[in-house]
Amino acid sequence: MSKSADIMQRYREVMFPAATPYHGDNPLIADHAKDQYIWDIEGRRYLDFFGGILTVSVGHCNDEITERALAQLQKLQHTSTIYVNEIMVRLAEKVAELTPGRLQKCFFTNSGTEANETAVLAARMYTGNPVIITLRHAYSGRSMLAMSLSAQQPWRLGGVVDPYVKHVRNPYTFRAPKGMTPEQVVDLCAQDLEETIATGTEGRIAAFMAEPIQGAGGFIVPPEDYFRRIMPIVKAAGGIFIADEVQTGWGRTGGHWCGIEHWGVEPDIMTFAKGMGNGSPIGCTIASPEVADALAGLTFSTFGGNPVTMATTLATIEYMEAHDTPGNCAVQGARMAERLAEFAAEFPIVGETRGMGLMQAIEIVQPGNNNQPDAPRTAAFVDTCKEMGLLLGKGGLYGNVVRIAPHLNVSAEDMDTAMEIVAKALAEVS
Ligand SMILES: Cc1ncc(COP(=O)(O)O)c(C=O)c1O
């Protein structure tokens, strides 16, 4: 039996099966990684263009970050929130500096799920209203509340649903009713939001919560004026705005630190996780002072604000600043988008390519069949890329969206290598 087969057999005996690894019968068993590469247990090298789900933001085992994490590990590892450490304060100051508008006070946890839980709690306590409106095709995490917020059937388990969470139409132009222009899709979304508030609530809400670009939903980019149209409706119902930047944060969308800055609206709360710590477990909720102060009473997170995580995350953000990752995302994202558009013209299985910065998607469809999603071919494509040495992600409610999200400091050379493999793999599965 090969080493991989042995590990997989043991894995199946001791792990919950629900967390299914990618690549079916041939999963990748990771051994070690450096910068843009990851090696499997059999010694094969892969160019990583998914970064552990948009999380390894500036390269695996990045030397500068590892050095600072190690130094902190040897200095002070853990206190919990009952004692203060300066590195936590420095990170909060940095997050407040780089986020837009009046966002100022942070609460640190260990995951995006917890960051969103904290955001919803703060919104409910600030407004005194329990209703949260969020978008279809959203993914918000894996707690009971976060599964209620998530609007994708495969990710909703356990049968317990928060009755105060309402979902409205998302601006998914590619799958909108046939023939609609992006402007008409925005009209439809605004109308659905108004009707949901008028019919499914008492007319008042706590918050509208949305990802600036839906991530697990399949990198769904809204039309330019979508958020500007939605926000007055939210405010008129007394709601505040929670921007879930777990995937879009830290320059990923190009040109700005936060995805929402592209859309001309100001959130009252923002949540981060994933790429913020380059692989260190972190969740961060930042809010305007009055919203943060409304979360009055006792709450704490044992590992939230852990000095090692704080040091790793601060090192990651400082590395991003020094290397202008928002700028690199814009440049390399444009390079990728251009190639993807060529593939859309060349391969009939490509229904649409879309994205911003280093968050680009290919939606795979059945050619000549009304853009019906093709999940099996999507899986075959991603598997083929892996066999050719390139790691990509999957997503979308129908499992037919390829997600491409390399490290924020990706080079032009690696981008070209990846795009060559994508072209070859598209040809092979077409
Ligand atoms: C937009 C978004 N929010 C929240 C989460 C939950 O984050 P975590 O898995 O760290 O709990 C995710 C995870 O994929 C996400 O994509």
Domains and CATH numbers, the chain: 3-58+325-429 (3.90.1150.10), 63-322 (3.40.640.10)
Q: Give whole-number Cα distances, 335 to 57, 92, 189, 227, 416, in Å.
A: 18, 34, 31, 27, 9
* Rounded Cα–Cα distance for residues 259 and 234 (Å): 19
What's the mean pLDDT in 258-265?
98
Q: Is the CB of 117 under 6 A from ligand 1?
A: no
Strands (E), 162-303: 165-168, 207-210, 240-244, 269-272, 283-287
Please report, rounded to a whole number, the percentage of residues in the chain having pLDDT higher than 70: 100
Residue with CA closest to ligand 1 atom 1: 246
Q: How many whole angstroms separate alpha carbon 281 and alpha carbon 264?
A: 30
Cα separation of 346 and 350, whole Å?
8
- DSSP assignment string, 22-65: SSTTS---EEEEEBTEEEETTS-EEEESSHHHHT--S-BT-HHH
Q: What are phi and psi for residue 424, nearest 5 degrees?
A: -65, -45
Give the atom of ligand 1 at the shortest distance from the alpha carbon of 273: 10
Identify whether the C-beta of residue 309 lies closer than 8 Å to the C-beta of residue 303. Answer: yes
Establish whether residue 140 lines the binding site of ligand 1, counting it when its CB lies within 6 angstroms of any ligand atom.
yes
* Residue carrying the six token digits 């072209």: 423
Summarize pLDDT for 146-191 with one digit per residue, the tens: 999 999 999 999 998 999 999 999 999 999 999 999 999 999 999 9
CA of 150 to the centre of ligand 1 (A): 10
- Stretch 267-293: mean pLDDT: 98
Summarised one tens digit per residue, pLDDT across range 27-39 is: 999 999 999 999 9
Which pLDDT score is estimated for 160?
87
Ligand 1 atom with minimal separation from the 248 CA = 1
| Distance, CA of 381 to CA of 397 (rounded, Å) | 17
Which residue intervals of 295-374 are DSSP H helices?
A: 307-322, 325-346
Checking if the pLDDT of 213 tops 90, the result is yes
Which residues, 6 or more positions from 123, have their beta carbon under 8 angstroms from its beta carbon? 132, 206, 207, 209, 239, 240, 242, 268, 269, 291
The amino acid at residue 425 is A
What is the chain's mean pLDDT, rounded? 97
Q: 244: Cβ below 6 Å to ligand 1?
A: yes
pLDDT value of position 1:
83
Residue nearest to atom 8 of ligand 1 (CA): 112
Q: What percent of the chain has pLDDT over 90?
A: 97
